[in-house]
Amino acid sequence: MTNMQTIRSREQRTAWIFLLPALLLLLFVFGYPIARAFWLSFFTQNLGTKLQPVFSGLENYARMAGDGRFWQSFWTTSVFTATTVILELLLGLSIALVLNKPFFGRGAVRTIAILPWALPTALIGLAWAWIFNDQFGVVNDILLRLGLIQTGINWLGEPTLAMIAVIVADVWKTTPFISILLLAGLQSISSDLYEAHAIDGATPWQSFYQITLPLLMPQILIAMLFRFAQAFGVFDLMAVMTGGGPGGATEVVSLYIYSTVMRYLDFGYGAALVVVTFLLLIAAVAIASFLLNKSRINTSY
């Protein structure tokens, strides 16, 4: 027993030695910027007025509480995140169910289905901006040919339509990511369960609700966690397609932080915005992890 403990202790030390360089790299790349942002959020530093940081305590956070533009961008981010995650989950699950069925050319279809997610987001945003262009866009051309509209719609010039346009672009790009994650979960479910359930007289819909969804719930929560973090921090798609316009209708938190730091050079307040956004993401990760662990416990019985 003592020899086993010695061997195990030696293996653990060896593992930590190999992990140490990666942990130090992660600490330098991620830990230092986060700690720096926390520290700077308690100071007032604006290169336009104050070159040196001046300690101001919680003044930046108090300013944030009364910042209408921040709360508007937070609401815009929340609407964008909730809408895209729900649509991508529904569409991704539907696509995963189709790709999980055997048919001729399934491998080629799976490869093609993931291409939108593999393309650069900035390139996708530029392409969709032209697709929704009011004069030369494909969307208006199709609607005009079908007789559904009489004149071109200014998709990116109206607040509601601009939000719809960026949501469509994001859903088109990132739905394949959800479908691949859920497809991996579907392939881990044994077909014997469905056969036994069918012998008991269950319909395909009953099998879906009683077998597929419960066993797929961990993958669904993981997919939602990843997509929530990505959608809440969206920047490049909005910056390329609308630049936050029109009139701030599509200005998300990341764009507001970018403007605060890079345009107005208000580093202290920008750091406070980063800290609050980071804490919100941490809270979302904690909730998702709790739900994931709970689903694993429920499915283990």
Three-class DSSP category at 55 = strand
Are 226 and 233 spatial neighbours (Cβ–Cβ below 8 Å)? no
The rounded distance, in Å, linking the Cα atoms of 7 and 98 is 49
pLDDT at 244 over 80: yes
Residue 245: pLDDT band by 50, 70, 90 thresholds?
confident
Confidence grade of residue 92 (pLDDT, cut at 50, 70, 90)? very high
Summarised one tens digit per residue, pLDDT across range 125-139 is 999 999 999 888 899
Mean pLDDT of 150-167: 92
16 versus 258: which is more confidently predicted? 258
How much is the pLDDT for 21? 86
pLDDT of residue 285: 74
Please give the Cα distance from 168 to 162 (Å, whole number). 10
pLDDT at residue number 195: 80
> Which residues 6+ apart lie within 8 Å of 278 measured at CB?
34, 37
Please state whether the peptide bond connecting residue 246 to the residue before it is cis, i.e. omega within 30 degrees of 0.
yes
Q: What is the pLDDT of residue 1?
A: 47
Give domain limits for the chain: 43-300
Contacts of 61 (CB under 8 A, 6+ apart): 41, 272, 276
Look at residue 100 and tell me whether its pLDDT is greater than 90. no
Residue 297 has pLDDT above 60, yes or no: no
Count Cα neighbours of 131 within 13 Å in the Cβ-side half-sphere.
Answer: 14
pLDDT at residue 230 tops 70:
yes
Give the mean pLDDT of 64-82: 91
Higher per-residue confidence, 6 vs 230: 230
* pLDDT > 80? residue 298: no
Q: What average pLDDT does the structure give for the chain?
A: 86
Provide DSSP, 22-33: HHHHHIIIIIHH
Identify the pLDDT of residue 257: 93
Name the pLDDT band for 50 (thresholds 50, 70, 90): low
CB 72 within 8 A of CB 248: yes
The model carries a pTM of: 0.85
- The domain 43-300: what is its CATH number? 1.10.3720.10
pLDDT exceeds 70 at position 193: yes
CA distance 36 to 62: 20
Going by their DSSP bridges, the two strands 43-46 and 50-55 should be labelled as: antiparallel
